[in-house]
Amino acid sequence: MPSKLEKELYRAAVLTFEELGLMLPTAELDESQRRAGAEVTVTVAFDGPFSGRLTVTICGDVTGELAANMLGDVEAPGSEHCDDALGEIGNVICGNTLPRVAGKGALFSIRSPRVTRPGEGGADDGEPPVATAQVGFDNGRADLAFFIDSVAEYEPEERR
């Protein structure tokens, strides 16, 4: 059973990919979506009532379509445009998830997104995420992970 945070993370991701990326995410993954390898990860760190980070890992051939949709361009976007599009997706998902978890009055500072590719060293410091979600696309999937670094200062709304 998904936690409240996982449900909110999934909702924010679906809404963002639909409205900003003009893509239709699916909840159920088929075999090809499950097998898709990681292509790129965006990490968005935040500070506020609690600090942490959100990672969005795109698996499969999704980033080019996402960037083209966001730019309204039919030509294949370059890697810089793809990175910018993915960074914006990460910012929006993070910005939409935090108030749903911490409450609408909570103020957070969201840092600039950081895009990495496999082998470049990502944001995984070995700590498990407190919530995860996956959304599928025609050509792959997005794996989302929500990390909270200052656990002692944070109590999820569902436990209050």
Which tens digit of pLDDT belongs to each residue from 18-61? 998 989 888 889 999 999 999 999 999 999 999 999 999 999 98
* Domain presence at residue 160: no
- Residue 134: what residue type? Q
Contact (CB, 8 A) for 58 and 38: yes
**What is the residue range of 43's domain?**
4-121+131-152
Q: Domains in the chain: how many in total?
A: 1
pTM score = 0.87
CATH of the domain at 18: 3.40.1550.10
Tens-digit pLDDT profile for residues 124-158: 557 899 999 999 998 899 999 999 987 444 444 54
| Cα–Cα distance for residue pair 157/135, rounded to 1 Å | 24
Percent of the chain with pLDDT over 70: 86
Q: Quick one: CA torsion of 82, 88, 89, 92, rounded to 10 degrees?
A: 180
Alpha-helical segments (H) within the chain: 4-19, 31-35, 63-71, 79-102
